Amino acid sequence: MLDVPAKLVRYLSRLLAAERRHRGTPAGSRKLTCRDQAVLALRWFRDRTRIERLGRDHGVSRATAYRYVAEAVDVLSAQAPGLPEALKRAMAEGVPYVILDGKVFAGDRCSEPATSVKGQVIDAWYSGKARRHGGNVQAVMRPDGLPLWAGPAEPGSVHDLTAARWHALPALYRAATLGMPTLADLGYEGAGIGILTPVKRPPGNQEPDIDTRTRNALLRDLRCRGERGFALLTQRWAALQHITADPDRTTEITRAALVLTQFEHKYIG
């Protein structure tokens, strides 16, 4: 039994049907119906079922199963909102603040040399912080942890602040000027006005004053709920726990899972 709502299967089926009409796919030319293709793809997302088993269970070849999953990923990721759109909706709904966080989604090793800031040759997709290979994805969450937006995946060696500057901070600055600040952890220190982060200890490991300690405690309490956003994605959709596809597909797979999560939480329909 597939552990997803029937409405989600119908939603993905409609997207796949629209895609087939857009491509001009002749009726009856596909081995599986749109509904069966949706079930196949959701099994991959939900349980990270091996492609060989999906093909065998659904009576299609391994290559066709790969293609069916890729099509589902593409039609879902196309529904993911851009950051300005997501922030505009959040402000219209009266959200007092949003939470910025980053995560390295583990993936199969892809050897791609890069030069570090220290001039050393490193593996671009290896994250020293997370100690694994994968793609660094920045995300913005509501105060309750529901993810609103997922950014393009950068190689794991890219620092959170650098990735945020490339993909998130300009839109977050505009939102802050309109009264909706962003909470973030110490990894984003120095991000700019409107991006609220804890204050580090003074030099010499001195104890911060009571006002600073109180501010830091409040920020931690509010910001930690944003970590629920990545938990919603990875615990619900096992395909994100270790992405075996090409690392360059991490962006589309993550955004597809974002759309599935938002649909299940009735944020889109």
Q: Residue 131: what pLDDT?
A: 82
Q: Residue 120: what pLDDT?
A: 66
Q: Residue 114: what pLDDT?
A: 67
Domain ranges of the chain: 6-77, 83-264
Q: Rounded to two decimals, what is the model's pTM?
A: 0.91
Q: Which of 216, 102, 215, 235 has its CA nearest to residue 165?
A: 102
- Cβ proximity of 48 and 234 under 8 Å: no
The alpha-helical segments, DSSP class H, found in 78-226 are: 83-92, 160-167, 169-177, 210-223
In tens digits, the chain (269 residues) has pLDDT values of 788 999 999 999 999 999 999 999 998 899 999 999 999 999 999 999 999 999 999 999 999 999 999 999 999 999 999 999 999 999 999 999 999 999 999 988 666 776 666 666 677 778 888 788 899 999 999 999 999 999 999 998 899 999 999 999 999 999 999 999 999 999 999 999 999 999 988 887 788 889 989 999 999 999 988 888 999 999 999 999 999 888 889 999 999 999 999 999 999 98
Q: What is the pLDDT of residues 23-67, one digit of tens each?
A: 999 988 999 999 999 999 999 999 999 999 999 999 999 999 999
Q: Across the strands, what pairs with 149?
A: 140
Q: Residue 64: what pLDDT?
A: 96
Tokens 């030069």 label which residue? 115
Q: Residue 28: what pLDDT?
A: 85
User: CA-to-CA distance for 207 and 98, rounded, in angstroms?
Assistant: 29
User: CA-to-CA distance for 97 and 103, rounded, in angstroms?
Assistant: 20
User: CA-to-CA distance for 262 and 76, rounded, in angstroms?
Assistant: 11
- In sequence order, which residues have a C-beta less than 8 Å from that of residue 134 and are 6 or more positions away? 104, 105, 106, 107, 125, 127, 156, 243, 247, 250
